[in-house]
Chain A
Amino acid sequence: MASEPHLLTERTRDTAEDDLERDLHTEHQVLNMGPSHPATHGTVKFLIELDGESIVDLDIQVGYLHRGFEKECESGSWYQAIPYTDRLNYNSAILCNIGYCMAVEKLLELETPIRCQWIRVMAGELSRLGDHLTRCGAACLELQAMTPFLYAIEARELTWDLQEMLCGARVTSNMVRIGGVKHDVPPAFPPAAREFIPKIRKLLGDFDDVVTQNRIFIDRLRGTGVISKEDCIRYAVTGPVLRSTGVPLDLRKDEPYLVYDQVDFDVPVGEVGDNYDRYLVCVEEMHQSLRIVEQCLDKLDQMGPGPVNVDDPRVRWPAKGRVFNQMEELIQQFKAVTEGPIVPEGEAYCAVESANGELGFYLVSDGGAVPYKVRCRPPSLINLQPLPLMVRGAMLPDLIPSFDFINMIGGECDR
């Protein structure tokens, strides 16, 4: 074996000049990444065509978490679909609950009580906060930074504690009802929320100190995953990804639903549409969500107790006292339990601003107690589609932050 190095040096000396000119006939390599990869917080498979370490093309294969959401909804009552919506985007379940229930309310032409609307806004913003914390924290983790992830998760725990006080569950909330919410805010909630909000702000500050000006973090994020405003709109991208390109599109402002027109908040936008802008937009949105929660707490205190559910026999059960004493109410209760609400024939599309963008529900009713069609317009899936545009020509490691800040949630993407 001793002769081989000698031979190699010999050959190198002879052909050094030719080698520079010679075509090496390199081939592109296809790399499988996923479906369960430690550097992605989502179940998805990438087929990456690589030239060296540069991405030439990318094929995204989704669907690993497909559970037949729409098919299941078509075989239960209108109420039975609500727990399924928890499991769409399990980071911000309440926002999914709100989207679905508002679409059913649109079909039923119901107006929810004002107190319920404030509770929904408050719970929804807590949920959005938790979603953004997960996105930013997990993105750091996947870029090998453990400490900021722990700050973010500690803050998320606080939002989950608050959510648990509101509806009894930390993740899958099942809090919103057609025409209302499960129950009013418990008396212990407002003081706890007022105590936790400064703590969350403090953790956000710690997170900011460690991450935002961090040289490594900036190097990984700035200038990577760039997408233009026009491409975003052509690909129907919404949410923080679109806003990072400078388009101030936010359904809470553009098509105000619930009481968002009475709340004071700003819509942060980025400038160049890279991952760093997306990060900054998310961080600022968290501060805005906290602002909204505080306003809701004040407003709920100020308005005093009131109904949180519509008084409509189509969607509410009659009072127990009457059920036990009167025939009509007993029949009504029986129908409400066994059949659920009867929704008039028609179709409705209702969109809300979820943490990832426009979450829409398109419902079709044939006039029965079972939905004829429940379509969820998933922002995760639609925002993921232009990912190849963002990373084509970039280095392989740039795929990780680009994917992280799209925040594809498998449960919602694949349904």
Chain B
Amino acid sequence: MDDHGSGVLRQLLEMAPHSVVDTHARLGDATAVVAPEALVDVMRGLRDAEGLEFDMLTDVTAVDHLGREPRFDMVYHLYSTIRNHRLRIKAGVPEAPGEIDTLVEVWPSANWMEREVWDMYGIRFRGHPDLRRLLLYDEFEGHPLRKDYPKERRQPLVGPRN
């Protein structure tokens, strides 16, 4: 696997050579695709390893590649406040069962961002302490950022709760 001249990718490949599926550094963004079953271990390594020290999970989102297998990509953006460098980690999630391990144990900031991904894409996070919808309401049907969710679709009208 090539490190594309990025020191962060080189260290990641030394640390977890068998977990990384693909790398690129296009447009200056160091990116590694990680096997989903190794995600939590790799992330913990990235957080703790000397020289990497990614102490901040800046962003969590997903991309729906409808028609591709695996259908979804989880996309994590990491930042190190100590080293001032960034890394993007991606992991494929198949449509069924549409699950991946949660990162709340590694960085608590993942909590709400994973809830948003569940809300918008319907990807479940194994081990998440509180996997509720974040932005939409409980009665909402479907997950609107999936590419097969039509923009014009109407939702049932619900009254106030509690």
Q: Residues of A at under 8 Å CB distance from B?
A: 32, 62-63, 66, 68, 70-72, 75, 106-107, 109, 233-236, 247, 249, 254-255, 346-349, 351, 358, 360, 362, 364, 372-373, 375, 377, 381-382, 385-386, 414-415
Question: Shortest beta-carbon distance, B32 to chain A, in Å?
Answer: 13
**Which residues 87-144 of B sit at the A interface, judged by CB distance below 8 A?**
88, 107-109, 111-113, 116, 120, 133-137, 144
Using CB atoms, name the residue of chain B closest to A386: B108
Question: Shortest beta-carbon distance, A3 to chain B, in Å?
Answer: 41
Determine whether the beta carbon of B27 is less than 8 Å from that of A70.
no
| Known A70-B145, A75-B151, A236-B56: A382·B112 in contact at CB below 8 Å | yes
Flag whether B61 is at the interface (Cβ < 8 A).
Answer: yes
Question: Shortest beta-carbon distance, B103 to chain A, in Å?
Answer: 11
Question: Shortest beta-carbon distance, A367 to chain B, in Å?
Answer: 13
**Number of B residues whose C-beta is below 8 Å from A?**
36
A347 to B63, CA, bound (A): 11
Question: Shortest beta-carbon distance, A36 to chain B, in Å?
Answer: 13
Give the residues in chain B near A249, CB-CB below 8 Å. 81
Question: Shortest beta-carbon distance, B86 to chain A, in Å?
Answer: 8
Determine whether the beta carbon of B58 is less than 8 Å from that of A236.
yes
Determine whether the beta carbon of B107 is less than 8 Å from that of A236.
yes
Determine whether the beta carbon of B108 is less than 8 Å from that of A360.
no
A410 to B145, CA, bound (A): 20
Chain B 71-97: CB-based contact to A (< 8 A → 1; otherwise 0): 000010100010010101000000000
13 contacts between A and B (CB under 8 A): A68-B144, A71-B149, A233-B81, A347-B29, A349-B88, A360-B59, A360-B77, A362-B59, A362-B75, A373-B64, A377-B59, A381-B116, A385-B111
Q: A362-B75, A375-B75 are in contact. List 20 more A-B contacts (CB 8 A).
A: A70-B145, A71-B149, A72-B151, A106-B27, A233-B56, A234-B107, A234-B108, A347-B29, A347-B31, A347-B88, A349-B59, A362-B59, A362-B61, A372-B63, A375-B59, A377-B58, A377-B61, A382-B109, A385-B108, A415-B135
Determine whether the beta carbon of A71 is less than 8 Å from that of B58.
no
Determine whether the beta carbon of B113 is less than 8 Å from that of A66.
no
A107 to B61, CA, bound (A): 18
A68 to B140, CA, bound (A): 13
